[in-house]
Amino acid sequence: MQRALTPNDILNKKYKLFEFDGEWFETFDKPERTGIWFIWGNSGNGKTRFTMQLAKYLTRFGNVIYDSLEEGLSHTVRRAYEAVGMNEVGNKILIVEESIEDLCIRLDKQRSADIVFIDSFQHSQLTYKEYLIFRKKYPRKLIIFISQAEGAHPEGRPAKRVMFDAKLKIWVEGFKAFSKGRYIGKKEHYVIWEEGAYIYDRKFNK
């Protein structure tokens, strides 16, 4: 049985946080460096570009693996890669297209990346039970799932359960990213692409 904690124990506990700055801090505060994050949104709203922007930014804090299960190494991924200037971070990020089983082999190696993107949850084919096992296996890593959406909700019951379990939940719509999780900054949203956000607002928010 684990020792019960007092309020002082919790208040004095030291947490490892990302020292976000600028617009990232203003939107997402300083989230923990481990655990689960969850990003979802409908096609054509800037989800891939945002996840690439986030992946690039997180290379400031450690090495990143981006498992592109849904789009593979397609031209769409390349365009998003180029749009954010991903070449600037060199080998601090690896883009792969491999099953969860092969990804685990990579993550089990010494000095493997501490930040992992899995795009998408649906293409990982994980059940919720398998997700819990996967999460428990890597408690010291940050694992970020990207999900397809049905309307304003993640697609499928397992994805919805993972979203509720995540520490940071990010909804992408109209080339803006909104924090819906436990870390919310002073700013309402992060702008992914100014021109796209402007066009979307003109079209849908007249």
In a domain, 98, yes or no: yes
Kindly report the average pLDDT of the chain as a whole number.
91
Split into its structural domains, the chain has a count of 1
In a domain, 155, yes or no: no
Q: Is the pLDDT of residue 66 over 70?
A: yes
Query: At 56, which CATH number?
Result: 3.40.1010
Q: Is the pLDDT of residue 2 over 70?
A: no
DSSP the chain: -PPPPPHHHHHH----B----HHHHHHH-S-BSSEEEEEEE-TTSSHHHHHHHHHHHHTTTS-EEEEETTTTT-HHHHHHHHHTTGGGGGGGEEEE---HHHHHHHHTSTT--SEEEEE-HHHHT--HHHHHHHHHH-TTSEEEEEE-EETTEESSHHHHHHHHH-SEEEEEETTEEEE-SS---SSS-EES-HHHHHHHHHHH--
The tens digit of pLDDT for each residue in 115-142 reads: 999 999 999 999 999 999 999 999 999 9
In a domain, 7, yes or no: no
The parent domain of residue 113 ranges over 22-141
- Higher pLDDT, residue 123 or 11: 123
The pLDDT assigned to 188 comes to 86
In a domain, 75, yes or no: yes
Average pLDDT over residues 183-194: 88
In a domain, 149, yes or no: no
In a domain, 73, yes or no: yes
The tens digit of pLDDT for each residue in 142-156 reads: 999 999 999 999 999
In a domain, 176, yes or no: no
Average pLDDT over residues 172-182: 91
In a domain, 200, yes or no: no
